[in-house]
C-alpha cells in the first residue's frame, strides 16, 4: 500500500473528548506517543463541528429472554432474507441517507452446552464415570490448565486403569490440542494422531463427533481445507444432535467463504447466528454473516447484523479491525456519511497498525464529499497524498481531488498521471473512464473512443458496461455531427473499418446515422438494411421524420415500392408541416404513376406543388406531374406543365444544367407528339446548350436532326446528322450516319 511502517501511528485521534470516553490505551501501539506531532498536524487540518461528535462509546443493549436448558440440539435452518438490489459500486457523492432496519434476534434458550469442542468436558462430566482422576482432569481443563491436565491423563492411561479409559483417551487428545499454538504444525499433527488413536480404539464411542470435529479443525489450521471440510461434513451429516454443531458449521462457512462460495457461506453463517439455542459462536457467526451480506452488496442487512453484534458483544470491536471496518464501509455504501466517518476514524484510532490506513483515510474524505463539504474532503485527500505517496489511498485521493477541480486541463493531468504511473491499479480504469467522459463532454469524440479502446484492451473486465455505453454515445454523437456537416463519407469510412465493434453495440441511433449516410451515398440496399434495423428498435411514437422518410426513400430506390408507398403516406399524415413532405408526396405520386393510378398520382403531385417553397422543387414536381398526363395521352397538358416547369427551374438559384437538359428533352418529346416539330427542335437545341455529357449530346443531336427531318427542314437535318456522325463515337453517331445515307438516297431517287 506504500504505507510507511516506521511512521504507522501517525493516524490522528479525531474523536471529540467527552466526560465518558472509551479507554483506548490497550489498543494503541507503543509508537503512538512518538507521533504526537503528526497528530497535531491532522487535528489542525480537520476540525469536526462541535455538535457532531466523531466517536462515541458503543451503547451496549442487553436483552434477556425466557431461558430453557437444552442439552443437545440440531441447529435450525432458517430462511435467508430476501436479497436487496445491489448498490452501485461507483460512489455517489450526493447519496441519500438510508435508514437501516433494526435487527431483532430470535429468542434463544439457555443451555449448559457452549456449542463447541469444549462441550467434551461437559459431556463426560455428565456421564457415570466415577474416576476421581478423570474428574480432577476435567476441573483442570475447565480452568484452562491444559498442560497439567494432559500430564495427569497421560499418566492415568499409562497406569493401565480400566475405568473411564475411553473418556481418558478423548480428554488427553483434547488437552494436548488446546495447548498447541496455531502455527505449530508439528504439534498439531501430534494432536491429530492422539484423536485418531481415540477414534480407532473406540470406534463406537458416543464421543466420536468430538474427535472428528477436532481433526477437522486441526486440518483447517494446517491449511488442508478439503480434508477439514470432509471431517466437518461427517459430523454435520452423521451427528445432527452433536452439541458442538455450531462450531462445525461456522468453520464450514469459513471454508466456503475462502473457496469463493458466498451463498453457501452466507447460509451457514446465518444458520449459526440465528440458532435458537445459545452458543459461543453466535457473535463470530454474526460477523461472518454480516461480511457475507456485504460481499453480496446487501449493505443495509449487513449493517443491521453487524451493529447488533457490536451492541451484544462490545468487546468484539477490540479483537480485530475487521468488524468496525465493515460497519464503516457498509454505512458509507448506504449514504450514512457521518456514521461511516465516525466508525472509520475509530478503526484508525483503535488499530493504528491496520493495513491500508491510506485507503480508509481517503474514504473518510469521501464522506465529506457526500455531505458536499468539498473543502474538508480536499484537505483529507491532500493529507493522504502527502503522507502516503504512491499508495492505493494516494491514487483514490487523487481521483477525489480531480472531482472538485474546475478546469478540465487540471483533471486531465491527474487522470493521465494515474493512467501512466499506475497502469495495473484498479483506479487506472476509473481514471481512463473519467478522461473519456471529459472528452465526450467537450465533443472530442475521437479522443473519447480512443480512450475507451485503451481501457477495454488494458482492463477488459473493469467498468466494461459503462465504458461500452460511453463509447456508444460517442459514436452516436460523432456520426450525427458528421452527417449535419455533410461529411457522410467519414461516417461510412469509419463504420466500414469498425463495423464489427459498432454492430455489437446494437445502437439504434448509430443504425439511423449509418443508414442515412448510405442513403446520401446512394447505396440504397445498405441504407435500407440499417434504417429498417433502426425502425424496428424505435417505438412508433419515437420514430423521427428523418428515419421514416429516409427508410421510405431507401425502399423506393431499392424496388420495395409497396412498402415505400405505405411509409410515404403515413409520413405525410404524421408530419404535415415537415420540409420533407413535398418530396414524400412526390415519390408517392411517382409510385402511383407506375401503378397506373393516375388520379391518386396527380393528387399527390398537386399537393406537393402547393406546399413546395423552392423554384427548383416546384419545377421537378411539375415535370413528374406532366408524366401523368403523358401516360394518359393528354400531350397538350403535359407540354404546358413542362413549359411551366422549365420557367420554375430557370428561376432557381445555382447552375441546374442537368435538370434543365432533362426538362427540355422531355418538352421536345412532347412537341414531337403534338407534331410541333419546330418547337421540338428549339427545345432540343436548348437541351444541347445545357448538356455537358458527350453521350447525352449525341442523343440530343440525333433527336434534333429527327425533329428537323419530321418538320421537312432537310438541310438542317442533314447538317445535324452529319455533325453527330463525325463528332461522336456512339450508337447515335451510327444511327445519324444511317439517316444521312437514307436522305442522300432519297435525294438521288428524287433527282433521277
Whether residue 224 is predicted with pLDDT greater than 50 in this model: the reply is yes
Of 457 and 58, which is predicted with more confidence? 457
Whether residue 176 is predicted with pLDDT greater than 50 in this model: the reply is yes
Of 354 and 65, which is predicted with more confidence? 354
Residues 477 and 551 in one domain: yes
Residues with Cβ within 8 Å of residue 296, at least 6 apart in sequence: 83, 86, 262, 266
| Confidence (pLDDT) at 130 | 82
Residue 215 falls within a domain, yes or no?
no
Rounded mean pLDDT of 8-22?
34
| Confidence (pLDDT) at 734 | 87
List b or e across 351-375, with b for residues whose CB sees 16 or more CB atoms inside 10 angstroms.
Answer: bbebebbbbbbbbbbbbbbbeeeee
Rounded to whole angstroms, the Cα distance separating 689 from 650 reads: 14
User: Final residue of a domain: which of 635, 670, 705?
Assistant: 670
| Confidence (pLDDT) at 129 | 84
| Confidence (pLDDT) at 64 | 25
Residues 663 and 703 in one domain: no
Q: What are phi and psi of 109, to 5 degrees?
A: -85, 145
CATH code for the domain of 518? 1.25.40.10
Residue 295 falls within a domain, yes or no?
no
- Half-sphere exposure (CA, 13 Å, Cβ side) for 8? 16
Rounded to whole angstroms, the Cα distance separating 31 from 357 reads: 16
Residue 263 pLDDT grade (very low, low, confident, very high; cuts 50, 70, 90) = very high
Could you report the per-residue pLDDT of 54-75, keeping only the tens digit for each? 333 223 222 322 333 333 444 4
Residues 720 and 580 in one domain: no
Whether residue 122 contacts residue 112, with contact meaning beta carbons closer than 8 Å, is answered with yes
Residues 662 and 699 in one domain: no
| Confidence (pLDDT) at 95 | 52
Rounded to whole angstroms, the Cα distance separating 450 from 469 reads: 14
Lowest-pLDDT choice from 32-46, 379-393, 432-446: 32-46
Whether residue 10 is predicted with pLDDT greater than 60 in this model: the reply is no
Does residue 497 sit in helix, strand or coil? helix
| Confidence (pLDDT) at 474 | 96
Q: DSSP letters of 140-165? A: HHHTT-HHHHHHHHHHHHHTT--TTH
Give the number of other Cβ atoms within 10 Å of residue 45's Cβ: 15
Q: DSSP letters of 90-117? A: SPPTTPPP-PPPPP-PPP-B--S--SST
Give the number of other Cβ atoms within 10 Å of residue 59's Cβ: 8
Residue 4 falls within a domain, yes or no?
no
Residues 656 and 507 in one domain: yes
Whether residue 13 is predicted with pLDDT greater than 80 in this model: the reply is no
Handedness of CA 326, 330, 333, 338 (dihedral sign): negative
Whether residue 267 contacts residue 285, with contact meaning beta carbons closer than 8 Å, is answered with no
Whether residue 701 contacts residue 688, with contact meaning beta carbons closer than 8 Å, is answered with yes
Rounded to whole angstroms, the Cα distance separating 685 from 666 reads: 12
Rounded mean pLDDT of 508-521?
97
| Confidence (pLDDT) at 99 | 64
Number of domains in the chain: 2
Handedness of CA 724, 727, 732, 733 (dihedral sign): positive
Could you report the per-residue pLDDT of 112-156, keeping only the tens digit for each? 999 999 999 999 987 778 888 999 999 999 999 999 999 999 999
Highest mean pLDDT of the ranges 19-33, 70-84, 135-149: 135-149
Whether residue 8 is predicted with pLDDT greater than 60 in this model: the reply is no
Rounded mean pLDDT of 699-716?
91
Give CA separation, 565 vs 344, 443, 458, in Å: 69, 39, 50
723 lies in which domain range?
Answer: 693-752
The C-alpha angle with vertex 455 and arms to 450 and 456, in degrees rounded to 5, equals 100
Residue 315 falls within a domain, yes or no?
no
Whether residue 228 contacts residue 219, with contact meaning beta carbons closer than 8 Å, is answered with yes
Residue 103 pLDDT grade (very low, low, confident, very high; cuts 50, 70, 90) = confident
Residues 540 and 664 in one domain: yes
Residues 708 and 640 in one domain: no
Whether residue 447 contacts residue 428, with contact meaning beta carbons closer than 8 Å, is answered with no
| Confidence (pLDDT) at 98 | 62
| Confidence (pLDDT) at 96 | 55
List helix spans (H) across 521-633: 524-537, 545-557, 561-574, 581-594, 598-611, 615-632
Residues 657 and 749 in one domain: no
The C-alpha angle with vertex 285 and arms to 281 and 287, in degrees rounded to 5, equals 125
User: Final residue of a domain: which of 619, 639, 670?
Assistant: 670
Whether residue 38 is predicted with pLDDT greater than 60 in this model: the reply is no
Residue 578 falls within a domain, yes or no?
yes
Residues 747 and 705 in one domain: yes
| Confidence (pLDDT) at 78 | 35
Rounded to whole angstroms, the Cα distance separating 349 from 12 reads: 7
| Confidence (pLDDT) at 25 | 34
Could you report the per-residue pLDDT of 618-627, keeping only the tens digit for each? 999 999 999 9
Residues 726 and 664 in one domain: no
Whether residue 442 is predicted with pLDDT greater than 60 in this model: the reply is yes
Residue 44 pLDDT grade (very low, low, confident, very high; cuts 50, 70, 90) = very low
Could you report the per-residue pLDDT of 86-100, keeping only the tens digit for each? 333 344 455 555 666
| Confidence (pLDDT) at 512 | 97
| Confidence (pLDDT) at 470 | 94
Residue 651 falls within a domain, yes or no?
yes
- C-alpha cell read off for 7: 511512521
Closest CA to 228 of 279, 188, 194, 187: 188
Residues 698 and 637 in one domain: no
> What's the pTM value of the predicted model, to 2 decimals?
0.69
Could you report the per-residue pLDDT of 294-329, keeping only the tens digit for each? 999 999 999 999 999 999 999 999 999 999 999 999
Residues 553 and 701 in one domain: no
Could you report the per-residue pLDDT of 396-412, keeping only the tens digit for each? 999 999 999 999 999 99
Could you report the per-residue pLDDT of 524-576, keeping only the tens digit for each? 999 999 999 999 999 999 999 999 999 999 999 999 999 999 999 999 999 99
Mean pLDDT of the chain: 86
- C-alpha cell read off for 723: 455533325
DSSP secondary structure letter of residue 26: G
Amino acid at each position: 500500500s506504500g504505507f510507511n511502517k516506521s511512521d504507522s501511528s501517525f493516524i490522528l485521534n479525531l474523536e471529540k473528548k467527552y466526560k465518558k470516553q472509551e479507554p483506548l490505551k490497550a489498543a494503541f501501539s507503543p509508537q503512538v506517543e512518538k507521533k504526537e506531532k503528526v497528530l497535531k498536524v491532522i487535528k489542525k487540518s480537520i476540525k469536526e463541528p462541535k455538535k457532531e461528535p466523531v466517536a462515541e462509546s458503543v451503547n451496549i443493549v442487553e436483552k434477556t429472554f425466557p431461558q430453557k436448558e437444552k442439552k443437545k440440539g440440531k441447529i435450525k435452518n432458517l430462511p435467508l432474507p430476501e436479497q436487496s438490489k445491489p448498490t452501485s459500486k461507483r460512489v455517489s457523492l450526493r447519496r441519500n441517507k438510508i435508514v437501516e432496519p433494526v435487527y431483532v434476534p430470535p429468542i434463544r434458550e439457555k443451555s449448559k452446552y457452549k456449542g463447541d469442542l469444549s462441550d467434551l468436558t461437559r459431556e463426560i462430566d455428565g456421564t457415570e464415570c466415577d474416576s476421581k482422576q478423570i474428574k480432577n482432569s476435567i476441573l483442570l481443563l475447565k480452568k484452562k490448565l491444559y498442560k497439567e491436565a494432559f500430564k495427569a491423563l497421560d499418566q492415568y492411561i499409562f497406569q493401565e486403569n480400566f475405568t473411564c479409559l475411553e473418556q481418558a483417551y478423548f480428554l488427553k487428545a483434547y488437552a494436548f490440542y488446546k495447548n498447541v499454538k496455531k502455527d505449530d504444525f508439528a504439534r498439531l499433527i501430534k494432536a491429530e494422531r492422539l484423536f485418531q488413536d481415540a477414534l480407532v480404539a473406540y470406534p463406537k464411542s458416543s464421543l466420536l463427533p468430538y474427535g472428528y470435529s477436532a481433526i477437522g479443525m486441526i486440518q483447517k489450521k494446517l491449511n488442508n481445507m478439503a480434508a477439514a471440510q470432509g471431517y466437518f461434513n461427517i459430523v454435520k451429516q452423521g451427528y445432527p444432535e452433536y452439541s458442538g454443531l455450531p462450531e462445525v458449521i461456522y468453520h464450514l462457512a469459513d471454508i466456503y467463504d475462502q473457496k469463493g462460495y458466498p451463498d453457501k457461506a452466507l447460509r451457514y453463517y446465518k444458520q449459526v447466528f440465528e440458532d435458537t439455542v445459545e452458543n459461543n459462536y453466535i457473535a463470530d457467526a454474526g460477523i461472518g454473516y454480516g461480511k457475507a451480506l456485504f460481499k453480496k452488496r446487501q449493505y443495509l442487512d449487513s449493517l443491521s447484523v453487524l451493529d447488533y453484534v457490536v451492541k451484544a458483544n462490545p468487546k468484539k470491536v477490540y479483537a480485530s479491525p475487521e468488524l468496525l471496518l465493515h460497519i464503516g464501509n457498509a454505512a458509507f455504501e448506504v449514504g450514512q456519511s457521518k456514521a461511516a466517518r465516525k466508525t472509520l476514524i475509530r478503526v484508525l484510532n483503535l488499530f493504528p497498525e491496520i493495513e491500508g490506513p491510506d485507503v480508509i483515510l481517503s474514504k473518510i474524505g469521501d464522506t465529506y464529499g457526500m455531505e458536499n463539504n468539498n473543502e474538508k474532503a480536499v484537505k483529507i485527500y491532500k493529507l493522504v497524498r502527502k503522507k502516503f505517496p504512491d499508495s492505493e489511498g494516494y491514487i483514490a485521493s487523487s481521483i477525489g481531488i480531480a472531482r472538485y477541480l474546475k478546469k478540465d486541463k487540471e483533471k486531465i493531468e491527474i487522470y493521465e498521471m494515474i493512467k501512466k504511473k499506475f497502469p495495473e491499479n484498479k483506479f487506472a480504469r476509473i481514471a481512463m473512464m473519467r478522461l473519456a467522459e471529459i472528452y465526450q463532454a467537450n465533443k472530442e469524440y475521437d479522443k473519447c473512443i480512443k480512450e475507451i479502446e485503451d481501457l477495454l484492451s488494458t482492463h477488459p473486465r473493469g467498468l466494461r458496461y459503462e465504458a461500452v455505453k460511453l463509447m456508444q454515445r460517442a459514436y452516436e454523437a460523432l456520426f450525427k455531427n458528421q452527417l449535419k456537416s455533410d461529411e457522410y463519407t467519414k461516417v461510412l469510412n469509419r463504420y466500414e473499418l469498425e463495423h464489427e465493434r459498432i454492430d455489437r453495440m446494437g445502437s439504434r441511433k448509430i443504425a439511423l446515422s449509418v443508414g442515412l449516410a448510405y442513403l446520401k451515398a446512394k447505396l440504397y440496399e445498405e441504407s435500407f438494411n440499417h434504417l429498417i434495423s433502426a425502425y424496428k428498435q424505435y417505438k412508433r411514437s419515437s420514430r423521427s421524420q428523418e428515419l421514416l422518410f429516409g427508410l421510405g426513400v431507401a425502399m423506393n430506390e431499392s424496388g420495395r415500392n409497396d412498402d415505400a408507398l405505405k411509409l410515404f403516406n403515413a409520413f405525410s399524415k404524421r408530419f404535415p408541416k415537415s420540409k420533407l413532405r413535398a418530396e414524400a408526396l412526390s415519390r408517392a405520386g411517382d409510385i402511383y404513376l407506375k401503378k397506373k393510378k393516375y388520379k391518386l398520382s396527380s393528387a399527390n403531385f398537386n399537393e406537393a406543388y402547393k406546399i413546395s417553397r423552392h423554384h427548383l422543387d416546384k419545377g421537378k414536381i411539375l415535370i413528374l406531374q406532366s408524366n401523368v398526363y403523358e401516360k394518359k395521352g393528354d400531350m397538350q397538358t403535359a407540354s404546358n406543365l413542362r413549359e411551366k416547369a422549365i420557367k420554375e427551374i430557370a428561376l432557381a438559384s445555382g447552375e441546374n444544367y442537368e435538370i434543365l437538359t432533362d426538362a427540355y428533352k422531355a418538352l421536345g418529346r412532347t412537341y414531337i407528339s403534338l407534331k410541333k416539330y419546330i418547337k421540338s427542335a428549339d427545345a432540343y437545341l436548348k437541351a444541347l446548350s445545357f448538356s455537358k455529357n458527350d453521350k447525352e449530346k449525341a442523343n440530343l443531336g440525333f433527336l434534333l436532326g429527327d425533329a428537323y427531318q419530321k418538320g421537312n427542314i432537310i438541310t438542317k437535318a442533314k447538317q445535324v446528322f452529319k455533325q453527330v456522325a463525325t463528332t461522336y463515337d456512339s450508337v447515335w453517331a451510327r444511327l445519324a450516319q444511317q439517316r444521312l445515307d437514307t436522305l442522300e438516297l432519297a435525294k438521288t431517287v428524287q433527282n433521277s
